[in-house]
Amino acid sequence: MADTRDELIRMAKRTMQGLAENKGELVDTQYRVPVEYYFDQDRWQQEVDRIFKRLPLVLGFSCQMREVSSYSAVTVLGVPVLMVRGSGGEMRAFLNVCRPRGAQVAEEGCGKARRFTCPYHAWSYNTQGDLVGIFEAEAFGDVDRNTHGLTTLPVTERAGIIWVTLTPNSRLDHDAFFKGYDKMLEHHHFADCHYAGGQSITGANWKVAYDGYLDFYHLPILHRNTFGPDTSPKALFEAWGPHQRLMAPDKRTSVNTL
């Protein structure tokens, strides 16, 4: 952990230097984004396939599922996902889909269960995703239970955050994806937090929100009544592979990071 602490100190000093010099990072030229990038349906589908269904997504937190057999069921981009803490304390993720007819084996939300039973056919699965019960098995016919468990999704638990890839059989290297940023996130102590609840918000195209968080230029204007009109509009950036941290020199706290 010493190396990440040194990194945090280095970034803090860099931000304080930016404050002293009243400087942020600037590119050489303006970058213009075609407006159709935000509403073109074909492009949106490509983003779904190449980004959201290919890369690990934050779908939960360790504090939601601390105990063995605790679970969380969510639907992301039309994909029903079941995350559950296994008997050995490991986190597992599956398609929340019963094998015969595709009914969801767990209702959306959080809870605790040692088995998940399909409301349509009453097939049941354990926390390892194994098929452990078949209603009227002798009437249904011969079934290889070893090949009819819940479909596994790649999952990794880091820094108190649960990351799931929506595509089964993905071979993405998680260490290469995080590029060390998961170690930086550990300093936020998410694993020690209490999960209070969540909400779903319908908004604009995801890039509108993403672009806004990359932009401190608007802070002293749009947020003048909350952050205040003296908030710095300048920004400094740090990158770990595809991840980045946005920092603003701010005289009130010396260092603000996002």
Mean pLDDT calculated for residue range 122-140? 92
Binning pLDDT at 50, 70 and 90, where does residue 257 land? very low
Mean pLDDT calculated for residue range 90-113? 95
Provide the mean pLDDT of the chain: 90
* The pLDDT of residue 197: 86
Alpha helices in the chain (DSSP H): 2-21, 41-47, 137-140, 174-178, 181-185, 206-213, 219-222
* The pLDDT of residue 77: 93
| pLDDT greater than 70 at residue 105 | yes
Per the model's pLDDT, the better-predicted residue between 8 and 82 turns out to be 82
In sequence order, the β-bridge partners of residue 248 are: 256
| pLDDT greater than 50 at residue 256 | no
Domain with CATH 2.102.10.10 in the chain: 50-192
* The pLDDT of residue 254: 47
* The pLDDT of residue 214: 84
Joined tokens for residue 146? 């070893």
Binning pLDDT at 50, 70 and 90, where does residue 143 land? confident
Q: How many CB atoms lie within 10 A of CB 14?
A: 15
CA dist 86 → 127, 175, 246 (Å): 5, 23, 36
First and final C-alpha spacing in the chain: 20
146-191 pLDDT, tens per residue?
989 999 999 999 999 999 999 999 999 999 999 999 999 999 999 9
Binning pLDDT at 50, 70 and 90, where does residue 200 land? confident
Binning pLDDT at 50, 70 and 90, where does residue 251 land? low
Q: 44-53, 198-207, 247-256: lowest mean pLDDT where?
A: 247-256
* Length of the chain as a residue count: 258
SS (H, E, C) 172-198: CCHHHHHCCHHHHHHHHCHHHCCCCCC
Mean pLDDT calculated for residue range 69-88? 96
| pLDDT greater than 70 at residue 255 | no
Mean pLDDT calculated for residue range 219-240? 90
CATH topology of domain 50-192: Rieske Iron-sulfur Protein (2.102.10)
In sequence order, the β-bridge partners of residue 164 are: 57, 155
